[in-house]
């Protein structure tokens, strides 16, 4: 009976939203504008009015009017350093996000992508990363909340590097307490910024979870001879065995052409991978449009068989240009949860149709 009552309420909500969209569409435009202003302040606080106007690409006069309204509603504070969001404002951001998701039909799009890709779950964040950089922060915040809800003390959490995963780690709350959990990098490192390396992010996440961590000080794309030598090291063996037992994997997705360059592959290797139809990359594995692995970079860490045995796979990826790569890495990945943005999700739907 409770299930039926809940379902009928959802149907009513959808009907109300449809009516509002037809009769007072300007109301929803205003709602979304204020949501974007609040969200931008939250991720850049403290922030001045002029910088806010530039980030949102709207006039200062419009910003001033909206700021005065938000201040009267006790959703923001205005001080000498700039504006910041109140606790009540933070609650409003979360509630508005869910309302806007319903209004835009994002839950239906989530269901469509989930069914077409044959994956566990899809979570879409309102907005487009390509048009608003704060959406990347919201992507990280949404993924962080999901992971926080599934972690159990004693879990082994493996994470990849990259900008998207850094946003996830940045948005974890610091009141978590999992002293028996272990955080590890998913694979060997790449030659890039230290702050987005898997080792750095693993240590940062462990600190936020009050957990322990193990680091893997091995570069990616080593020769087979070098790998066989390194694998005999006891300290490396211990970390790799822990990685193979991961319960939760949080990872990013990249385009095959970009990731082949970042992983230091030669021009000949890159050309061969692309000629084989590879469009997406995750964990050092390159996938084609059918979701099949066409190439694997030599590295230590997670193997494809480990990934297939993990119950909780969380892919965090956005940007329209990555849509094809996301589809290739997610297709028929039944245990995977995809967290992406609205702009990318719409591109994914176009590809799937």
Which residue's structure tokens are 């994956």?
119
Determine the pLDDT at residue 95: 83
Which residue's structure tokens are 């992010």?
201
Mean pLDDT of the region 83-107 = 87
Q: Output the DSSP codes for 125-138.
A: ESS-TTT-THHHHH
User: What's the pLDDT band for 221 if we cut at 50, 70, 90?
Assistant: low
The Cα 189–Cα 259 span in angstroms is 13
Determine the pLDDT at residue 3: 45
- For residues 302 and 158, the answer to whether their CB atoms sit within 8 Å is yes
Q: Which residue has the higher pLDDT, 290 or 57?
A: 290
User: What's the pLDDT band for 7 if we cut at 50, 70, 90?
Assistant: very low
Determine the pLDDT at residue 10: 44
User: What's the pLDDT band for 239 if we cut at 50, 70, 90?
Assistant: confident
Give the number of other CB atoms < 10 A from CB of residue 335: 16
Q: What does pTM read for this prediction?
A: 0.85
Q: Which residue has the higher pLDDT, 12 or 66?
A: 66
The Cα 293–Cα 281 span in angstroms is 9
Three-class SS state of 255: strand
Q: Is the pLDDT of residue 218 over 80?
A: no
Mean pLDDT of the region 126-153 = 92
For each of the domains in the chain, give its residue range(s) and CATH number, in order of start.
Answer: 2-103 (1.10.10.10), 106-352 (3.40.50.1360)
Mean pLDDT of the region 299-307 = 79
φ/ψ bin of 127: left (φ > 0), alpha (ψ from -120 to 50), beta (otherwise): left
The Cα 167–Cα 195 span in angstroms is 11
User: What's the pLDDT band for 169 if we cut at 50, 70, 90?
Assistant: very high
Helix residue spans in 82-223 (DSSP H): 87-103, 106-117, 134-150, 163-170, 198-209
């Amino acid at each position: 009976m409770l299930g039926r009552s809940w379902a009928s309420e959802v149907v009513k909500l959808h009907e109300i939203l449809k009516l509002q969209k037809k009769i007072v569409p300007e109301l929803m435009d205003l709602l979304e504008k204020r949501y974007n202003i609040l969200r931008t302040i939250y991720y850049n606080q403290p922030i001045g009015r002029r910088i806010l106007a530039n980030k949102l690409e709207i006039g200062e006069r419009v910003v001033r009017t909206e700021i005065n309204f938000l201040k009267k509603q006790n959703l923001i504070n205005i001080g000498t350093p700039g504006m910041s969001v109140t606790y009540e404002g933070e609650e409003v951001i979360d509630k508005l996000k869910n309302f806007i998701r319903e209004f835009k039909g994002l839950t239906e799009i989530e269901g469509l992508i989930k069914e077409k890709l044959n994956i566990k779950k899809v979570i879409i964040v309102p907005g487009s990363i390509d048009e608003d950089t704060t959406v990347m922060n919201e992507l990280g915040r949404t993924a962080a909340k999901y992971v926080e809800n599934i972690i159990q003390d004693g879990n082994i959490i493996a994470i990849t590097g990259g900008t998207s995963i850094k946003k996830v780690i940045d948005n974890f709350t610091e009141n978590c307490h999992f002293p028996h959990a272990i955080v590890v990098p998913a694979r060997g490192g790449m030659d890039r910024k230290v702050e987005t390396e898997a080792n750095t992010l693993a240590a940062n996440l462990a600190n936020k979870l009050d957990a322990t961590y193990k680091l893997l000080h091995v570069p990616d794309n080593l020769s087979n001879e070098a790998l066989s030598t390194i694998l005999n090291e006891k300290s490396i063996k211990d970390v790799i065995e822990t990685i193979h037992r991961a319960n939760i994997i949080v990872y990013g997705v990249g385009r095959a052409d970009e990731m082949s360059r970042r992983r230091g592959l030669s021009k000949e290797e890159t050309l061969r991978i692309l000629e084989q139809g590879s469009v997406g990359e995750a964990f050092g594995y390159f996938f084609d449009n059918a979701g099949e692995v066409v190439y694997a970079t030599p590295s230590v860490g997670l193997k494809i068989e480990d990934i297939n045995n993990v119950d909780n796979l969380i892919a965090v990826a956005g940007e329209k240009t990555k849509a094809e790569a996301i589809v290739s890495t997610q297709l028929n990945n039944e245990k995977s949860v995809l967290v992406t943005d609205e702009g990318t999700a719409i591109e994914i739907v176009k590809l799937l149709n």
